[in-house]
Structure 1
Amino acid sequence: VQCGYCTPGMLVAAEGLLLDKSSPSEAEIRHALAGNICRCTGFETIVRAVAAHAAAREAAR
């Protein structure tokens, strides 16, 4: 995260996705985040973070 402008929307979108799908694919993550605009990172690190969080949640179950 650089400027933080997109962070709230990304978090809400990611949590909504993870409530529906516990192990989303990269394409599903990208689709869920597509409504948010991030000029700093190009989504790459955000997509990886959502995938890592999903994996950690699954491992904790």
Structure 2
Amino acid sequence: MNKSVFISKQAKAQFLKVLEKELKEKIQAITICSNLTEDEKQNEIQALKLNFKKKKRN
């Protein structure tokens, strides 16, 4: 494996870790938010997870 491919894979792995951390923080914020109904919270969390999956694929 050449060096640029290895660096690229490392960078992508690091990027995914950052995205995952952001996802967890956003889900926690939505869960804590008291002015949303349970359905609204679940919808927001589902949207975040879907967006995460899209970013992960790219």
When normalised by structure 2's length, the TM-score is: 0.44
When normalised by structure 1's length, the TM-score is: 0.42
Q: Relative to total residues, which structure has the larger helix share, 1 or 2?
A: 2
Name which one, 1 or 2, has greater alpha-carbon Rg: 2
